[in-house]
């Protein structure tokens, strides 16, 4: 990324165990949970540091999106059928059997779109603000660090990161 | 996963994006020429009118609608199979999912073109979109063609998103591994992806929800395509089993297309280390199962028609079994049942070459099946005065051939621009099994020592 570098102290680790030690070290040094940044090139489910921020309302929001899709389908079908009351195939003007198909499709579409929008907003992709990143993550390194640390805490953060066995970097 | 493995995977899977051989350009030119010829044939049809095609009374649906149903069926290869494998957490799915999802998107795009080609006047295609027109006629939601519009568009939207979301981390990887204009483009596509645990969790949650949503949508799409036929009182169409019969056929042809695409990708992109014989063997077993299911449906359908002995339906039955369509019908049976059954039920023959051979015949057989559903029934309706023959014309044949080339061209171009195997998902597959990790955690209690 070609952003202006974010002020940060971080280290790169070759394996998740070392990254976990660094995260634990930062906690022990008094760094708040929300200030600890971890990045990796693939999800690492087996370690505790990757379980942070796991709780999500995405399933419920997808359900709400589906419900909105259903309401739109009911509105669209019944409104249009009543607006032009054309008898087709001896079916009633508001024919629920065929309308169920439109309702099903728009319910699913609503759920899918709500899921994607929730992902984009909660995962902050895309983001306009410059963000911490290091190209070595692509080679399998795990980044653990602190963005915008206070001057007083920098040395403690550096010690914690080095204790984890990482290669220290500052930007 | 260690750094050396990560570098090796990156190198192998990004190689097709970063290095281009003359073979790639030769293939693009070859396929592009066929596609352009097909476009020329379509322009010819537009200029001289729909009469240049073989479509005329009483057979108003022929090659174009056959292609429509065939390609929508092929689209079941990807998203549906990928979604099922994701939900059951099949570990062997990882190198396959993207190969499959791409087929869905391109097959749907190609399939959705055919109603427009079939219109004859494609500039009026916007009439298909449900909107209140100036004549005050609102969309008729009681028409299966409007159901098609909603079903195909929902499936296409869902499939594109299902394909695109897991591509974001791979775009970030390509961004980090390239320079110059490539880096600029992939930086934009990567949407500033970082790979924080929060982003990974949200992405995986979203993929899980979409997998749950996309399976019923995929089933609905081909059921609704079958309704285009079964809602009409045409001999051998008006059947309650058409929905599941079409869905089974779609999954059947979809798996065949996936096997063929995987074999080509493996061969030409040198991905032998990632697409193993076991992947083909597993998909071969699925293909065998679908072949048997398809045979069951054909048997149930044919037996019911024969036993019912209704004169109009028996006329269609006879013309396909013994009449002018018999060579096509029995070719279909050989392609869809005999060849796959023999090859795929014998373990020694269930090799990559065997699976590719069986898949190739299945694709031919399934195209013939779509054709045999449409044309004999329309040519043999209830009263003999409405009987007729269909002879495909060069313009239809050329457009049909060009769609296969279009599929190949789109696939080749895609594999040049995006890693055809999901890199991050493959890396996850390199992690140790959870049982192993638990064992290691007992040996080295990391967070017990650092509270």
Task: Express each pLDDT in B15-45 by its tens digit.
Answer: 999 888 899 999 999 999 999 999 999 999 9
**Averaged confidence pLDDT in chain B:** 90
Name chain A contacts of B6, Cβ cutoff 8 Å.
41, 138-140
Give the minimum alpha-carbon distance from B369 to chain A in angstroms, rounded to a whole number.
Answer: 26
Considering chain A, what percentage of its residues have pLDDT values greater than 70? 97
Which residue intervals of chain A are DSSP H helices? 16-28, 58-83, 96-122, 154-163
With the C-alpha atoms ordered B108, B110, B111, B114, is the resulting torsion angle positive or negative?
positive
Section B297-320 average pLDDT: 95
Q: How far is B5 from chain A (nearest CA, A)?
A: 8
Higher pLDDT, B44 or A48: B44
Q: What per-residue confidence (pLDDT) applies to A13?
A: 93
CB neighbour list of residue A58: distance below 8 Å, 6 or more residues apart: A115, A118, A119, A122, B202, B205, B206, B209
pLDDT at A49: 84
Confidence grade of residue A61 (pLDDT, cut at 50, 70, 90): very high
Average pLDDT over residues B195-210: 94
- Tell me: the pLDDT tens digits for A29-38? 889 888 899 9
Instruction: Tell me which chain B residues have a C-beta less than 8 angstroms from the C-beta of A24.
Output: 446-447, 450-451
Nearest to B195 among A108, A115, A137 (CB): A137
Q: How confident is the model at residue A128 (pLDDT cuts 50, 70, 90)?
A: confident
Is the pLDDT at B110 greater than 70, yes or no?
Answer: yes
pLDDT of residue B443: 41
3-class state of residue A164 by DSSP: coil
User: How far apart are alpha carbons B210 and A79 in whole angstroms?
Assistant: 30
- Does the structural domain A8-42+140-170 have CATH classification 3.40.630.30? no
What is the percent of chain A with per-residue pLDDT over 90, rounded to a whole number?
55
B402 Cβ contact partners less than 8 Å away, ≥ 6 residues apart: B34, B35, B37, B38, B39, B41
The torsion region of residue B235 among left (phi > 0), alpha (psi -120 to 50) and beta comes to beta
Q: Which two tokens stand for residue B309?
A: 């002995």
**Percent share of chain B, pLDDT over 90:** 78
Residue B376 contacts A, CB cutoff 8 Å = no
* H or E segment and range at residue B449: helix B446-449
Task: Indicate where chain A has its CATH 3.30.70.3400 domain(s).
Answer: 8-42+140-170
Minimum-distance CB partner of B209 among A58, A102, A141 = A58
Q: Kindly state the DSSP code that residue B227 receives in the 8-state scheme.
A: H
* CB-based contact B161 A77, cutoff 8 Å: no
Please name the member of A15, A88, A138 whose beta carbon is closest to the beta carbon of B177. Answer: A138
**B2 neighbourhood in chain A, CB within 8 Å:** 14-15, 140
Cβ–Cβ gap B151/A105 under 8 Å: yes
When CB atoms are compared, the residue of B137, B161, B176 closest to A112 is B161
Q: CATH for B21-124+140-431?
A: 1.20.1630.10
Tell me, what's the pLDDT at A168?
A: 85
Picking from B150, B180, B440 by the largest number of A CB atoms within 10 A of its own CB, the best residue to mutate is: B150
Establish if A164 touches chain B: CB-CB under 8 angstroms.
Answer: no
Q: What confidence score (pLDDT) does residue B450 get?
A: 36
Which residues of chain A make contact with B198, given a CB cutoff of 8 A? 52-53, 122-123
Q: Each residue of B399-442: pLDDT tens digit? A: 999 999 999 999 999 999 999 999 999 988 765 444 444 333 33
Between the ranges B118-122, B177-181, B223-227, where is the mean pLDDT highest? B223-227
Q: Determine the residue of chain A that is closest to B192 in CA distance.
A: A126
Residue A89 pLDDT > 90, yes or no? no
Answer yes or no: do B201 and A53 touch at CB < 8 A. Answer: yes
Query: Do the Cβ atoms of B450 and A135 come within 8 Å?
Result: no
Nearest-Cα residue of chain B relative to residue A49: B197
Chain A closest-CA separation from residue B445 CA (Å): 10
> Which positions 216-275 of B are in contact with A (Cβ < 8 Å)?
216-217, 220, 224
Assess whether pLDDT exceeds 80 at residue B129.
no
CA distances from B9 to A17, B2, B335, B382, B430 (A): 21, 11, 38, 62, 10
Is the CB of residue A52 less than 8 Å away from at least one CB of chain B?
A: yes
Does A87 reach chain B within 8 Å, measured CB to CB?
A: no
Is there a contact between B142 and A111 if contact means CB atoms under 8 Å apart?
no
Examine the pLDDT at B449 and tell me if it is beyond 50. Answer: no
User: Would you list the domain boundaries of chain B?
Assistant: 21-124+140-431
pLDDT value, residue B132: 67
Partner B contacted by A133 (CB < 8 A): yes
pLDDT tens digits, residue range B247-277? 999 999 999 999 999 999 999 888 998 999 9
CA dist., res. A70 & res. B139, Å (int):
18
pLDDT at B139: 73
Question: Which residues does chain B have within 8 Å of residue A17's beta carbon, measured at their own beta carbons?
Answer: 444, 446
- Of B91-95, B100-104, B116-120, the range with the lowest mean pLDDT is B91-95
How many angstroms separate the CA atoms of A61 and A111, rounded?
8
Q: How far is CA A7 from CA A4, A95, A148, B198, in A?
A: 9, 62, 5, 21
DSSP label of A13: E
pTM, rounded to two decimals: 0.91
How far is residue B237's CA from residue A56's CA, in Å, rounded to a whole number? 47
Of B98-107, B118-127, B149-158, the poorest mean pLDDT is in B118-127
Nearest to B150 among A54, A80, A102 (CB): A102
Q: What is the mean pLDDT of residues B89-98?
A: 87
Q: What is the pLDDT, as a whole number, of residue B431?
A: 55
Residue B375, min C-alpha distance to chain A (Å): 25
């Amino acid at each position: 990324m070609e952003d202006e570098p974010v002020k940060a102290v971080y280290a790169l680790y070759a394996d998740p165990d070392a990254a976990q030690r660094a995260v634990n070290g930062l906690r022990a040094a008094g760094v708040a949970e929300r200030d600890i940044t971890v990045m990796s090139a693939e999800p690492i489910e087996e370690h505790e540091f990757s379980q942070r921020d796991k709780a999500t309302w995405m399933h419920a929001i997808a359900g709400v999106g589906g419900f909105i899709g259903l309401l739109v389908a009911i509105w669209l079908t019944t409104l249009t059928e009543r607006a032009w009351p054309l008898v087709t195939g001896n079916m009633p003007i508001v024919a629920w059997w065929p309308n169920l198909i439109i309702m099903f499709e728009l319910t699913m579409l609503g759920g899918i779109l709500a899921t994607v929008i929730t992902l984009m907003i909660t995962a902050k992709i895309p983001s306009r603000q410059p963000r911490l990143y290091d190209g070595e993550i692509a080679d399998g390194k795990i980044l653990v660090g602190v963005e915008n640390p206070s001057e007083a805490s920098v040395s403690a953060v550096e010690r914690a990161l080095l204790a984890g066995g990482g290669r220290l970097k500052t930007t | 996963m260690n750094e050396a493995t990560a570098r090796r995977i990156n190198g192998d899977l990004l190689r097709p994006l970063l290095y281009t051989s003359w073979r790639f350009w030769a293939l693009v030119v070859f396929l592009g020429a066929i596609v352009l010829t097909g476009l020329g044939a379509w322009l010819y049809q537009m200029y001289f009118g729909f009469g240049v095609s073989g479509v005329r009374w009483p057979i108003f649906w022929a090659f174009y609608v056959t292609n429509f149903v065939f390609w929508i069926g092929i689209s079941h290869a990807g998203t549906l199979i990928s979604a099922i494998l994701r939900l059951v957490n099949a570990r062997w799915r990882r190198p396959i999912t993207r190969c499959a999802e791409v087929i869905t998107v391109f097959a749907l795009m190609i399939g959705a073109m055919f109603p427009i080609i079939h219109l004859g006047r494609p500039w009026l295609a916007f009439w298909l979109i449900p909107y209140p027109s100036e004549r005050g006629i609102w969309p008729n939601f009681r028409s299966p063609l409007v159901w098609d519009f909603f079903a195909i568009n929902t499936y296409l939207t869902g499939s594109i998103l299902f394909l695109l979301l897991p591509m974001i981390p791979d775009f970030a990887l390509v961004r980090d591994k390239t320079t110059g204009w490539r880096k600029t483009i992939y930086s934009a596509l990567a949407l500033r992806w970082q790979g924080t645990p929060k982003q990974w969790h949200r992405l995986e949650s979203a993929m899980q929800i979409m997998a749950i949503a996309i399976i019923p949508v995929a089933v609905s799409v081909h059921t609704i395509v079958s309704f285009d036929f079964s809602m009409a009182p045409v001999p051998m169409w008006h059947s309650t089993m058409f929905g599941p019969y079409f869905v089974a056929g779609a999954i059947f042809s979809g798996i065949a297309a996936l096997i063929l695409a995987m074999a080509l990708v493996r061969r030409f992109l040198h991905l032998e280390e990632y697409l193993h014989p076991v992947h083909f063997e597993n998909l071969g077993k699925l293909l065998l199962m679908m072949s048997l299911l398809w045979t069951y449906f054909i048997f149930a359908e044919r037996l019911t028609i024969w036993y019912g002995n209704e004169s109009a339906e028996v006329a269609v039955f006879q013309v396909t079994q013994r009449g002018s369509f018999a060579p096509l019908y029995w070719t279909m049976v050989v392609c869809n049942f005999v060849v796959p059954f023999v090859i795929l039920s014998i373990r020694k023959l269930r090799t990559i070459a065997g699976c590719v051979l069986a898949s190739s015949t299945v694709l031919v057989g399934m195209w013939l099946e779509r054709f045999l559903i449409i044309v004999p029934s329309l040519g043999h309706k209830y009263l003999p005065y409405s009987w007729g023959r269909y002879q495909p014309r060069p313009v239809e044949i050329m457009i049909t051939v060009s769609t296969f080339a279009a599929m190949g061209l789109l696939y080749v171009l895609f594999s040049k621009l995006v890693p055809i195997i999901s890199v991050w998902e493959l890396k996850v597959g390199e992690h140790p099994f959870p049982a192993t990790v638990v064992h290691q955690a007992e040996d080295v209690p990391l967070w017990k020592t650092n509270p």
